[in-house]
A and B are shown apart, each in its own frame.
Chain A
Amino acid sequence: MTEKPILQEKQPPISDVVISGAGLVGGLLALVLDRYGFKVTLIDQRDWFDETAVSDGRASAIAEDCWCCLELLGLTSSLGSQQITGMRIGEAVVDHEETDFALNFDANAEVLLGHMVENERLMTALNQALKKTSQVQFLPKNRILSFRKTGSVVDCELATGENLTTRLLASAEGRGSVLRGLAGIKTQSTDYDQAGLVCTVSHEFAHEGLAYQWFLPNGSFAVLPLPGNATHPHLSSIVWSEKRELAKVMMELDETEFTTQMQRRFGNRLGKLKLQGKRWSFPLAAGIADCFAKDRFVLVGDAAHHVHPLAGQGLNLGIRDVAALAEVLVEARRLGLDFGDDLSLDNYQRRRRFDSALTLGLMDGLNRVFSTSAGPARMLTSVGLPSVNRLDSLKAFLIEKASGKSVNQPRLLQGLEI
């Protein structure tokens, strides 16, 4: 038997966790693990601190459980968020007249519907916290070319030629995760013939914290309340799913025509809409990785699952991944267990994969049901939907999913330290 090289002699010293991808989920994982005493290295192709935050115009509806986690980490005070006070959901056609909403959810002390936040502001708050308070080692403008599990560590080869040794490697690289491919983990995905159009609008009347969502023949049209500012007291975020070809056409319209198209879909509840800033388009797809972890390699956020952004579940799922993974790792370490081994990662996978699949299934299902342009499915929904409002159990289930309540909830999502 040949002697294995002794680990302690390796240079540089071993990281506890190397995270590839410094977006919202990767950055959050770094911040949380650093808080609990893990030696973390964060690596990204971009120089994420230097980038003058380019807004992609996207805002997220942060569910209450995830909000609790962000609050505990001290990230919420500078966000200028808007609490969602109610949801109005219904089915309609383009140019509809005062159609009634089929589902009305109002927030109360027990049921909170979450907070609207601009992603860019959350990213800024997160980066500030990472820079000012954490011990995280940053490797900007770099990436992992290859990695290999050797005994109880993973050796990573970097684009700059150095090597990194870590007990656990995490990919938070988003849905196109390169490391996931290198690990040989496949994904199951559904590609919709749809695109999401995203932008911010100002409007005449106050939204009063209400979130609206119309299910139109080609997809859903959501208007989500944003905090106002001095120039525009009334702002909302638009998330509009449209047939891909039509979305292309919409993107080419001039501002006035684009606004007219939005108004035709939303109606006049908030008065005249006005486009503020750029509009963005991205293809809609949903997918889930065949496994979330193996051989000291773990997936979090969109690298593990990406969802049709119907209810802003994407970022919420990512935050829940972070909370669950951190809890699994901290608990294993407190017991002296090898936190990067299969048992530990299986715990994470067991806690997260079901929830992700369920959310995906639910979102995918809702979208399919509502966006069938003709045929029996749609007939069924048009008959069935108005009665949904009275189906308390379904409503409760939807609210529970939206607010993230579940058994065995990670402590961070309850606003508690691990």
Chain B
Amino acid sequence: MKEAVLDSSIDQAEVDKFARMAEEWWDPKGKFAPLHKMNPLRLAFIRDRMIEHFGCDAQSYEPFKGLQVLDIGSGGGLLSEPFSRLGAEVTGVDASERNIEVARLHAKESGLEIKYRAMTAEALLEEEKRFDVVLAMEIIEHVAEPADFVKSCANLMKPDGMMVMSTLNKTAKSFALGIVAAEYILGWLPKGTHDWRKFVTPEQMDIWVDDAGLDLVEVKGGTYNPITAVWTLGSDTAVNYFALIKNYSDCPPD
């Protein structure tokens, strides 16, 4: 059974590593505290772009009714649950069965209906299902074949849909902050969470997206202020960044 959910884009060691942390997903003061802290920022980025792209009502608490959202690498459901509350029909996929179990359990507790499936993006592609929104947040730095992964994501998106990816940039700063500070000094993330060699520069991302036949429309950085404990969106992409990806036909000409 295990082999069925694994293929080219998955690195088994990475899957096991995250499964060990799965139960702690929903403890806002636990090991995933930094992700919980950053969650409002990435939710706001995605939400605002979706409202703009699909022309949704910004004042509504359920602006995304009727939209299908795919959350790749859904983990404990930190993204899936908010988008489900916002009215979207959410499918969360994760290669780790334990993550999926944790996410299902939590969604039930939250009274939310989310389709969680233990599978990869590639496996889902075979079902020929397409989504209005494809989210691949903090996942590309964990896959074995990122170029193929971006292609799979692109094929899961409807032609008039949109995609958001986020990851860690491959800079000295991201090594210093994302690994040395986050894992060793602040103790935010368990040691060994990230491998700096797998981090992706926005330029590299642009090439992969282009190869997948899509356009990288916007790149925004997330910066953390340790004094106010607040994440803000800006032009500094040296550590974390978000990428908005659409079809060329949906973008204004360069």
Chain A contacts to B: CB under 8 angstroms: 4, 6-8, 37, 151-152, 331-338, 341-343, 346, 350
Contacts and interface: CB of A to CB of B under 8 A. Distances in A.
Nearest to A151: B109
Interface stretch (B36-44, B129-137, B160-168, B205-213): B36-44
Contacts of A341: 28
B175 interface: no
B61 A337 contact: no
Contacts of A8: 111
16 contacts: A4-B108, A4-B109, A7-B111, A37-B61, A152-B110, A152-B111, A334-B47, A335-B86, A336-B81, A336-B82, A337-B39, A337-B40, A337-B43, A337-B85, A341-B28, A343-B36
Contacts of B229: 350
B108 A6 contact: yes
A337 B82 contact: yes
B84 interface: yes
B47 A335 contact: yes
Contacts of A346: 28
A346 B33 CA distance: 13
Contacts of A6: 108, 111
B84 A342 contact: no
A267 to B, nearest CB: 48
A151 B40 CA distance: 21
A338 B110 contact: yes
A292 to B, nearest CB: 16
Contact of B82 (A7, A331, A335, A342): A335
A342 B85 contact: no
Interface in B70-111: 81-86, 108-111
- The 6 closest A-B CB pairs, nearest first, are A336-B82, A336-B85, A336-B86, A151-B109, A335-B43, A7-B111
B116 to A, nearest CB: 17
Interface of B: 28-29, 36-37, 39-40, 43-44, 47, 61, 81-86, 108-111, 229
A14 to B, nearest CB: 8
Contacts of A334: 47, 61
B27 to A, nearest CB: 9
Nearest to A7: B111
Q: Name the residue in B39, B40, B81 with the highest tally of chain A Cβ atoms < 10 Å from its Cβ.
A: B40
B167 to A, nearest CB: 21
B111 A336 contact: no
A335 B36 CA distance: 13
B98 to A, nearest CB: 14
B86 to A, nearest CB: 4
Contacts of A342: 28-29
Nearest to B41: A335
A335 B40 contact: yes
Nearest to A335: B43
Contacts of A336: 43, 47, 81-86
Contacts of A37: 61
A7 to B, nearest CB: 4
Nearest to B86: A336
Given A342-B28, A343-B28, A333 B110 contact: no
A336 B82 CA distance: 4
Contacts of B36: 343
A4 B106 CA distance: 11
A64 to B, nearest CB: 25
A170 B109 CA distance: 22
Nearest to B82: A336
Given A336-B43, A337-B82, A152 B109 contact: yes
A316 to B, nearest CB: 24
A333 B36 CA distance: 15
Contacts of A7: 109, 111
Given A151-B110, A331-B40, A335-B43, 16 more contacts: A4-B108, A6-B111, A7-B109, A7-B111, A8-B111, A151-B109, A152-B109, A152-B111, A333-B61, A334-B47, A336-B47, A336-B84, A337-B40, A338-B85, A342-B29, A343-B28
B127 to A, nearest CB: 26
A342 B33 CA distance: 11
Nearest to A14: B111
A151 B36 CA distance: 18
A341 B84 CA distance: 17
Contacts of A343: 28, 36-37
Contacts of A350: 229
A233 B82 CA distance: 57
Contacts of B28: 341-343, 346
A264 B210 CA distance: 85
A335 B44 contact: yes
Nearest to A338: B110
Nearest to A36: B61
A228 B110 CA distance: 54
Q: Name the residue in B37, B108, B111 with the highest tally of chain A Cβ atoms < 10 Å from its Cβ.
A: B111
A407 B22 CA distance: 38
B72 to A, nearest CB: 18
Contacts of B82: 335-337
Nearest to A3: B108
A332 B44 CA distance: 10
A8 B108 CA distance: 10
Contacts of B43: 335-337
Nearest to B109: A151
